[in-house]
Amino acid sequence: MTHPKKESVALKFGLGLVAGQISIFWIHPFDLIKNRLQTSGANLTPFSCVSQILKQNGLRGFYDGMSASMMRQATYTTGRLGIYSNLLHQYKVRTGTEKPSLFWTTLMGSSSGGLAAIIGNPADVVIVRMTVDSKLPVNQKRGYSSVFNAWARIVKEEGLTTLWIGCRPTVARAMVVNSCQLSFNTQARYFIERKSPSMNPYLLSILSSCCSGLLTTTIVLPIDFAKTRIQNMSANEYSGWFDVWRKTIKHEGFSVLWKGFAPYFARTPITLFIMDILLYHFGMSR
Closest C-alpha to 220, from 165, 271, 270, 172 = 172
66 CB-contact burial (10 Å; exposed 0-12 / middle 13-18 / buried 19+) = buried
Amino acid identity at 58: G
Question: What pTM was estimated for this model as a whole?
Answer: 0.81
Quick one: DSSP state of residue 79? Answer: H
Asked whether residue 223 is domain-assigned, the answer is yes
Query: Per-residue pLDDT tens for 235-265?
Result: 778 888 889 999 989 988 898 899 889 888 9
Q: Is residue 211 part of a domain?
A: yes
Inter-residue contact 83 to 112 (CB < 8 Å):
yes
pLDDT tens profile 70-127: 988 999 999 999 999 999 999 999 998 889 999 999 999 999 999 999 999 999 898 8
Residue 209 in any domain: the answer is yes
| Total domains, the chain | 1
Return the SS3 of 99: coil
Domain that includes residue 176, residue range: 9-281
pLDDT tens by residue, 193-232:
999 999 999 999 999 999 999 999 999 899 888 888 887 7
* Amino acid, res. 183: S
Lowest-pLDDT range, 85-89, 134-138, 245-249, 269-273?
A: 134-138
Tell me the mean pLDDT in the region 28-47: 83
Return the percentage of the chain with pLDDT > 70, whole number.
97
Please give the single-letter amino acid code of residue 203. Answer: L
Is residue 81 in a domain? yes
pLDDT of res. 138: 79
Q: Please indicate, yes or no, if residue 134 is contained in any of the structural domains.
A: yes
**SS3 of residue 73 by DSSP:** helix
**With b meaning 16 or more CB within 10 Å and e meaning fewer, what string describes 145-164?**
eebeebbeebeeeeeeeebe
In this predicted structure, the answer to whether residue 1 has a pLDDT above a threshold of 50 is no
Q: What is the pLDDT of residue 41?
A: 66
Residue 286 lies in a domain: no
Q: What is the pLDDT of residue 232?
A: 79
Residue 3 lies in a domain: no
Residue 7, pLDDT > 50, answer yes
Domain-embedded: residue 1? no
Report CA-CA distances (Å) from 121 to 150, 199, 211, 236: 13, 38, 27, 19
Can you give the CATH number for the domain in which 275 is found?
1.50.40.10
